[in-house]
């Protein structure tokens, strides 16, 4: 199961990288979203995948680690907020600058 997860995470990172290297702002945002999904799955995998045991220390038998899920929830909330903000910003930038092409947004020609 860990192998499958590793491959899934790898594919997510790969797609995210591909999307983030494109010029369109919207694709970049989708890319960052995928990147954080990959990171969340990675946490889940790194906390050992286990089924059927309670997240309680001191009970008899094996226990599941509840911490990765708490971490993922926090990370999801944060990435939700950041993505939402990014979308608003991209929309404003599109309205103001008239393009969603990163290349065309460049300004700031250095030492003038």
Contacts of 108 (CB under 8 A, 6+ apart): none
Handedness of CA 68, 69, 71, 76 (dihedral sign): positive
Q: Which position among 6, 74, 101, 103 is part of the footprint of another protein (CB under 8 A)? A: 74
Q: Is 93 in the site for another protein (CB under 8 A)?
A: yes
Q: Is 112 in the site for another protein (CB under 8 A)?
A: yes
Interaction mask 4-43, another protein, x per CB under 8 A: ----------------x----x--x---x--xx-xxx-xx
Instruction: Measure CA of the first residue to CA of the last residue in the chain; give whole Å.
Output: 57
CB of 105 to another protein, least distance (A): 5
Q: Which position among 46, 49, 54, 56 is part of the footprint of another protein (CB under 8 A)? A: 46
Q: Where does the chain have alpha helices with state H?
A: 2-20, 25-46, 67-97, 102-105
């Amino acid at each position: 199961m860990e192998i499958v997860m590793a491959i899934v995470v790898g594919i997510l990172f790969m797609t995210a990288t591909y999307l983030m290297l494109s010029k369109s702002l919207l694709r970049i945002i989708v890319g960052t979203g995928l990147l954080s999904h990959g990171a969340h799955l990675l946490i889940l995998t790194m906390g050992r995948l286990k089924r059927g045991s309670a997240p309680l220390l001191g009970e008899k038998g094996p226990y599941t680690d509840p911490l990765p899920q708490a971490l993922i929830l926090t990370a999801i909330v944060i990435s939700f907020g950041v993505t939402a903000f990014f979308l608003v910003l991209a929309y404003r930038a599109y309205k103001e600058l008239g393009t969603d092409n990163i290349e065309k947004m460049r300004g700031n020609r250095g030492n003038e």
